[in-house]
């Protein structure tokens, strides 16, 4: 059974992804670690605890991680997309978890749990890659205890923050370069090209709201986020990016991947924070690129049905 550590910046789609993992008996959710991103670290940490309370998981340790990118501060916080509280204004309605954060913090918690685990751990970063880069810098031996990284991030044909950059890579390009290009842990990258294909519509959201207490709590969290995505999608619906990556981590092989050389642009140019995949037939990695398994397609109805079942 996959043993997951989810590194997250909740965030609405992060909340859906955490709920999926927490409600899936096919995986062991070993820990959740928090990072700056969709909102500041205090709020992402509070939201992670509240979401775990919602799914009745007092047992999962939570480690508080990095409050800012490794090197350069991020220019803007994306509060417009997830609401000022990160959960479309719903956070105040959610109960706090009795068990707070672990005293040791995200990086030490990850390092210890990986070291103590009998089985390799799947690390699932669904926010900026700051904590993961810090883990691999401070505890290089941790790489031996990680069977793979399943990373939500990047874009093959462009970004969502700007023309080039997807949010999680844009929010800490140096960390993304370290993790995606300089390390050699087997990595599956779940880019926005695929997550957009897995968008859910108003009918799916109505079924979620009617599916039971968890769905009824999660559906209103999509409010601000859904309005932002309705403009992008051109219809009433939303995109639960992070849940696509977590589904792959729980059920390896759910996503069809292509092994391609990939890099991250860290230059100060309009392409900063962009991912560049070498999609030429049988391309070999050139310096500054690494072979990464990029998720290209999946059975979309099977994914959206899985989400409805698990969040019911």
Q: Tell which one of 63, 127, 154, 273 touches Ca ion (CB under 5 A).
A: 127
Phi, psi (deg, nearest 5) at residue 76: -140, 145
* Nearest distance in Å: CB 88, ligand BDR: 13
Residue 36 is a catalytic residue:
no
DSSP states along 240-270: -HHHHHHHHHHSTTSEEEEEEEEEE--SSST
Nearer to ligand BDR, 38 or 145 (CB): 38
**Is the separation of the CB atoms in 34 and 106 below 8 Å?**
yes
Q: Tell which one of 13, 85, 172, 265 touches ligand BDR (CB under 6 A).
A: 13
> Tokens representing 280?
């030429």
Give 210's DSSP letter: T
Q: Provide the mask over 171-210, with x wherever binding to ligand BDR is found by CB under 6 A and - wherever it is not.
A: ---------------------x------------------
Q: Provide the mask over 72-111, with x wherever binding to ligand BDR is found by CB under 6 A and - wherever it is not.
A: ---------x------------------------------
Phi, psi (deg, nearest 5) at residue 268: -85, 90
* Nearest distance in Å: CB 299, Ca ion: 23
Binding segment (CB under 6 A) for ligand BDR, from list 6-14, 86-94, 205-213, 303-311: 6-14
Residue 242 interacts with ligand BDR (CB under 6 A): yes or no? yes
Q: Provide the mask over 252-291, with x wherever binding to ligand BDR is found by CB under 6 A and - wherever it is not.
A: ----------------------------------------
Binding segment (CB under 5 A) for Ca ion, from list 93-101, 210-218, 234-242, 290-298: 234-242
Query: Residue 167 CB: number of other CB atoms within 10 A?
Result: 26
287's CB contacts (< 8 A; 6+ apart) are none
CA pair distance 190, 14, nearest whole angstrom:
14
CA pair distance 200, 20, nearest whole angstrom:
15
Residue 7 interacts with Ca ion (CB under 5 A): yes or no? no
Q: Tell which one of 2, 4, 7, 14 touches Ca ion (CB under 5 A).
A: 14
Q: Which H, E and C letters describe 173-196, residue by residue?
A: HHHHHHHHHHCCCCEEEECHHHHH
Binding segment (CB under 5 A) for Ca ion, from list 235-243, 248-256, 281-289, 304-312: 235-243
Q: Provide the mask over 146-165, with x wherever binding to ligand BDR is found by CB under 6 A and - wherever it is not.
A: ------x-------x-----
CA pair distance 48, 35, nearest whole angstrom:
10
Q: Tell which one of 24, 33, 34, 38 touches ligand BDR (CB under 6 A).
A: 38
DSSP states along 24-74: -TTSEEEEEEE-SSSS-HHHHHHHHHHHHHHTT-TTS-EEE--SS-SSSPP
Please choose which of ligand BDR, Ca ion, none residue 167 contacts, taking the beta carbon within 5 to 8 angstroms, the exact cut-off set by kind.
ligand BDR
**Is the separation of the CB atoms in 140 and 179 below 8 Å?**
no
Binding region for ligand BDR (CB under 6 A): 11, 13-14, 38, 81, 126-127, 152, 160, 166-168, 192, 241-242
Positions annotated as catalytic residues are 241
């Amino acid at each position: 059974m996959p043993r997951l550590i989810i590194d997250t910046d909740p965030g609405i789609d992060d909340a859906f992804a955490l709920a999926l993992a927490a409600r899936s008996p096919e995986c062991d959710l070993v820990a959740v670690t928090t990072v700056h991103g969709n909102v500041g670290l205090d709020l992402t940490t509070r939201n992670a605890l509240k979401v775990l309370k919602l799914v009745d998981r007092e047992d999962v340790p939570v480690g508080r991680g990095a409050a800012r990118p490794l090197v350069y501060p991020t220019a803007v916080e994306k509060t417009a997309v997830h609401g000022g509280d990160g959960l479309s204004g719903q956070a105040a309605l959610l109960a706090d978890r009795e068990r707070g954060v672990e005293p040791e913090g995200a990086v030490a918690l990850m390092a210890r749990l990986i070291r103590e685990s009998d089985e390799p751990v799947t690390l699932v970063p669904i926010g900026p890659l700051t904590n993961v880069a810090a883990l691999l810098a401070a505890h290089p031996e941790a790489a031996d205890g990680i069977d793979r990284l399943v990373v939500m991030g990047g874009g093959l044909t462009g970004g969502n923050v700007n023309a080039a950059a997807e949010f999680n890579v844009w929010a800490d390009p140096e960390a993304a370069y370290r993790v995606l290009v300089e390390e050699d842990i087997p990595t599956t990258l779940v880019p926005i090209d695929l997550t957009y294909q897995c968008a859910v519509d108003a009918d799916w959201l109505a079924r979620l709201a009617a599916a039971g207490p968890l769905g009824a709590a999660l559906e209103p969290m999509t409010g601000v986020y859904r309005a932002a995505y309705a403009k992008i999608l051109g219809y009433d619906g939303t995109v639960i990016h992070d849940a696509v990556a977590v589904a792959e981590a729980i059920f390896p092989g759910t996503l069809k991947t292509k092994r391609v050389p990939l890099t991250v642009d860290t230059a100060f140019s309009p392409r900063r924070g962009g991912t560049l995949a070498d999609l030429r037939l049988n391309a070999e990695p050139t310096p500054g690129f690494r072979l990464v398994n990029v998720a290209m397609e999946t059975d979309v109805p099977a994914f959206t049905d899985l989400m409805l079942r698990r969040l019911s």
